[in-house]
Amino acid sequence: MGNGTIIALLGIAGVLVSGYALDVEWKLQSAGPFYKPACDSEWGSCSAVFSSPYAHILSLWGIVPKGHPLDLSLASAGLMNYGIYVMYPTRLAGMFPSPHVLLLLLSCCGILFSCYLLYVLKFILKDFCIVCATFHAINFSMFMFGALPEFLNPTVHAKPRAKDE
């Protein structure tokens, strides 16, 4: 399986998990305490995590006011992030000067953010979220099996090499 296929498949998995997380967030807002998502179990509560202030990181950090249109939930930001991964194998990404470098930078940001969120989950919220764990597994897999191999040996948007004369 080529780098582009791995990147696209992990991106699709991320989009699907983000879509589920967004659905849970919407149902928690509309149905309130009467809705119990499938991701809530005796191991942990995704609804508690999605309802925490950490679910809207930009307002938590004071970058935008709470309720601002840019105060995206992590699920919404995930849809965009994983959507970029899905688009990587397309010609659109090939228009950038070094798409493999941008992919690696995005993936590195993803694993650093996952480390931060894992810390928050374990030591601040003291909870477990299977949906969050899936996001983190996708982020680390994207780095190890997609972005790093593509960076070391660009195959998806490889530029043709000039022939030595």
Cβ-based burial of 69 (10 A; exposed 0-12, middle 13-18, buried ≥19)? exposed
pLDDT at 61: 97
* Residue for token pair 């941008």: 102
pLDDT at 162: 59
Q: Are 16 and 80 in contact (CB under 8 A)?
A: no
Q: Are 46 and 37 in contact (CB under 8 A)?
A: yes
State mean pLDDT over 85-96: 93
pLDDT at 94: 85
| pLDDT range class, residue 1, cuts 50, 70, 90 | confident
Asked whether residue 50 carries a pLDDT value surpassing 80, the answer given is yes
Two structure tokens written together for 99: 């798409």
State mean pLDDT over 103-117: 98
State mean pLDDT over 146-165: 81
State mean pLDDT over 54-69: 96
Distance, in Å, from the CA atom of 100 to the CA atom of 149, rounded to the nearest integer, reads: 9
Distance, in Å, from the CA atom of 12 to the CA atom of 156, rounded to the nearest integer, reads: 17
- pTM for this model (two decimals): 0.92
Distance, in Å, from the CA atom of 165 to the CA atom of 161, rounded to the nearest integer, reads: 12
Asked whether residue 103 carries a pLDDT value surpassing 90, the answer given is yes
- DSSP labels, 57-77: HHHHTTSS-TT-TT---HHHH
pLDDT at 102: 96
pLDDT at 157: 84
Mean pLDDT of the chain: 94
Burial 20-58 (b: 16+ CB within 10 A, else e): bbbebbebbeeeeeeeebebbeeebbbbbbbebebbbbb
State mean pLDDT over 12-29: 96
Asked whether residue 122 carries a pLDDT value surpassing 90, the answer given is yes
